Structure 1
Amino acid sequence: MQLTHPKSVSAILAAASCTLLGSPVQAQETVEDWQFDTAILYYGESDRVQLVEGVFNANKDFGNEQIFNGKVVIDTLTGASASGAVAQPGVQTFTRPSGNDSYQIAAGETPLDDTFRDTRVQLSGQWTQPIAEDLRASGGLQVSKEYDYLSIVGNGSLAMDFYNKNTTVTAGLSYALDSIDPVGGRPIDFSSMIVDSGQFNNTDAYQQAFDDTRIYGSEDKDTVDLLFGVTQIINRRMLMQFNYSFSTSDGYHNDPYKVLSVVDQQGLTQDILHESRPTQRTKHSVYWQTKYALDQGVIDLSYRFATDDWEIDSHTIDSRLRFDLSETSYIQPHFRYYQQSAAEFYNPFLLESEPMPEHASADYRLGEMTAITVGIKYGMQLQNGHELAFRLEYYQQDPKNAGFDQPGALASLDLYPSVKAVIAQVNYRF
């Protein structure tokens, strides 16, 4: 959300090196006025999820590197989300997560649950200040609440400057406690979806069968993240940053709204099961970023490699080229490429003739995929000193077949449809 038009190369580098772990670090010793950033973002997938998000960010420098940052985020999500079940040559009937209704999916169509609706409110605050010469501390708290999800995150970091502030070494720690209480309760791992197709004598009998597949009440997940980073000013034009991060989580990792199909040798669905994921996950990632100040702009290039014990390996290349059109306006093309391998327990479907695995999920977000984002941003400084920017991007995600045979009827169906989306954003800074 930083829209400042830098007046010099040194200002560009100062802005580029502002933070690790999301906590701003500035070098001003004078007290500055409050600075506010606002943004409205729209994300829309074709025939799927629609997101509208509003962000209000406040930043205050009290002098001597004592800085407060606060943020409010409100977003709403609507639309249809892929359930994980496979398409079939005939009409399919599914029960909604609440158990109070059912819906049908036409032949050949990817099963989507169109009741995906939620509103999220997130509040966060961060305080940064020096605690010794060339040593700064930062701490913050973030609370995020959705209808069925509560997340509380605390973080702290230390940043030490060396060599006349040309090198900054950072270490950070965060702890997150997430609590989920799904609509309709938490499905028991690998329990069958209960569909009322006339086999129950009354409503009570159906409800009892549904309740037998559920665990009611909330479940928790704990996540600890560690980050170690080095930011180095190479010369008056170039800055580099290297990070290593470690994350471990324990608790409820299932998506309670995802299912997977059990098919026979003809590819016809015989059962619909609720997914099962491991209760622990450990992740490692390394990150490199370079910013280079041109006479009329900035080149920003980064690469991230991530791996975890679910056997998901990912590569991300992100590039931006900011070009100053004038003293008060700029454009910034953006390109991002992402590629990941499938989780070891990812299965687009299960075969009824094979033994039940320990864990399985058909969530395409855990499968093999590539994704690209291309777009452009235009920003300008207004006569009153405020700043306005517009961003428009196209996103396409292409799931891949990670080596699974498609028996019978599945051979002629698209089990890995692409996800296409448009992203539009307006920023205003004052």
Structure 2
Amino acid sequence: MKLITILWLLALSFGCLVSCKQNLVLVPDSPYRVSDDSFTTKTIASGFTIPYGIAIVGENEYFITDRVGKMFHFEDSTLTEISGVPEVVTFGTPGLAAIMHGGLMDVSLHPDYSTNSWIYISYLASDGFAKVSRLKVQDNTVSQLETIFTTRHQNYTGNGMRIVWEDETHFFLNIGNSDFSTSEYPVLHAQDLNHDAGKIHRLMDNGSVPADNPVFDGYASPTTIWSYGHRDVQGLFFEASTHTLFGIEHGPKGGDEFNIIEKGKNYGWPLFTYGINYDGAWVSTISEDSAAKFTVFPAHYWTVPTRDGGQAVAPACLLKVSESNISDWNDYFIFGSLAFRRLMKYNHKTGETFGLSIKGRVRTVKQLPGGDIIALIERSDLRKSNGKIIRIGN
């Protein structure tokens, strides 16, 4: 890996070392008022390291990914590991069994899964390239596997690889680019249309390029790129009723963004950001006024004030709750805060953010057909695989 990437990992390693006492992941106070919402929780499965993605087959049947490279089938309280999953690569933190990058990430069902049985996964493959494959499972074994998308470059600094469906034939895919970038030494992969990192892609269900994707300057035809200038989008939500794609994105130290993703637009990273680098260095290379001329500013951003310039909330997933069994959450966006290790809710109309009493590094939230919410929470002890899946109801 490049020296700059190694330095970035060491910086994060130091942050983990000072915040993890005896390998326990501590839960800091919420930076926002904790909302007194009414709900119940029940642990329905455990024994995970970093449960990252969940695909809902039915009310009590799911496929689940763990970033260490494992995939599971859960049905009626029985959890079974799926064999034959592609080999993945992960990068950890020196001195701790923490996984900072890579691995097996999202899992999603084809909208016509009941007929074609296709399951889609996103991951950093053992060769260092970010990929999307679709597979079929028979007798808890991968029976058919097709790699339908591979990045043009290796991408060791991308965490966010979510898959959300626009309709029965198109899906969106985000690919992160959380490089160590400063104004003095900018890393411009997210601005480079010949590089797939720092982008949201739109693909056909077989991995081909949709004919109505944007055609960027200098190109004669569409590519998979839908939008660019992203750092590390780790949450995507497509609202079918308004045909709107929402993204929630890691800034560096502060400047975490909530974006409305539009076709062909530039979202600015690393030319302009409301965050600073982990070591306090300035990141933006242009002014806010200059950025306003050709980039899209976030619809909302979070920087928790601190004495040394601000703290990130580190958003990890995104769901807009509607017609759920938790009435206090309806019409709110909910997301996991990795930095403050709890679930949060955000009102896009008022700009208010609230902490919730569900604690832990929540990696994914999904709504079940019946209205309950599923949350995937990574391990709280770095020596153990005690990550869990909880079901939230009224």
The answer to whether the superposition gives a TM-score over 0.5 is no
Larger Rg: 1
Identify the structure with bigger relative contact order (alpha carbons < 8 Å, sequence gap 6+). Answer: 2
Give the TM-score normalised by structure 1: 0.30
User: Greater strand share, 1 or 2?
Assistant: 1
